[in-house]
Amino acid sequence: MPTPDELYETLEDFVMRMMNLAEADGMDAMVELDLSFSQARTLFLLAKTGQPMSIHSIAEKIGLSDAATGRNVDQLLQLDVVERRESLEDRRVKLVSLTPVGEKLAVSHIDAKRESIKAFTADLPPGQRDDLHRVLSDILAGGTLRPRKNQEHCL
């Protein structure tokens, strides 16, 4: 029986390989637009929340200054992936949301990741597929994967 540390090392290796495989397949559009990591995080945060956010709120969530976030938003505006407008409640506040182009970009990135995972599962030998399904189903049915309080809003 593996120790917790041995299981950790194996699981980390597996998760990192899966993430790398899925990320590589999903990055084509990001690379094509020459998005920075912070710009991509902004795009995915907006996609995840599904509602307009203030620049200050975006900055807090992705860990950048308001000024740096504003510059990222300006560049995303130039690429037509976000739009910015004044808040109806406070005209000093600028709200940022995805344009249809930005929504399509986020969805295509996620779809590419899903297709990578589907391809992985299709390539597994049936016995491994059954074992992995059983183990993951048991884990998901338990309570150990609930987000910790300090991780509930992280990207």
- Residue 155 in domain: no
pLDDT mean across residues, the chain: 88
Domain assignment of residue 138, yes or no:
no
Would you say residue 113 lies in a domain? Answer: yes
Q: Show the domain range for 25.
A: 4-123
pLDDT higher than 80, residue 150: no
Query: Rounded distance, CA 104 to CA 110, Å?
Result: 10
Residue 141 lies in a domain: no
Looking at residue 26, what is its pLDDT? Answer: 66
> What is the per-residue pLDDT for 125?
96
Asked if the structure places residue 135 within a domain, the reply is no
pLDDT tens-place string over residues 74-132: 999 999 999 999 988 888 899 999 999 999 988 888 888 888 889 999 999 999 999 99
Residue 43's pLDDT is 93
Give a yes or no: residue 77 inside a domain. Answer: yes
Q: Where are the alpha helices (DSSP H) in 3-65?
A: 4-26, 28-33, 37-49, 55-62
Q: How many residues does the chain have?
A: 155
Query: Higher confidence at residue 155 or residue 110?
Result: 110
Cα 101 vs. chain centroid, distance in angstroms?
17
pLDDT at 31: 72
Least confident span in 5-19, 109-123, 138-152: 138-152
According to the model, what pLDDT value does residue 143 have? 80
CA 103 from chain centre, in angstroms, equals 13
Give the Cα separation of 94 and 55 in Å (integer): 7
With cut-offs at 50, 70 and 90, classify the pLDDT of residue 42. Answer: very high
| Residues 80, 85, 86: CA angle, nearest 5 degrees | 165
Model confidence, pTM: 0.70
The number of distinct structural domains making up the chain is 1
Q: Which of 112, 107, 45 is nearest to 76 (CA)?
A: 45
Q: Is residue 12 part of a domain?
A: yes
CA-closest candidate to residue 26, choices 120, 118, 121, 110: 110
Residue 146 lies in a domain: no
Helix H or strand E encompassing 143: none
Give the angle 78-82-88 at the CA atoms, nearest 5°.
Answer: 120
Provide the CATH number for the domain around residue 70: 1.10.10.10
Mean pLDDT (whole number) for 35-61: 93
pLDDT band of 155, cuts 50, 70, 90: very low
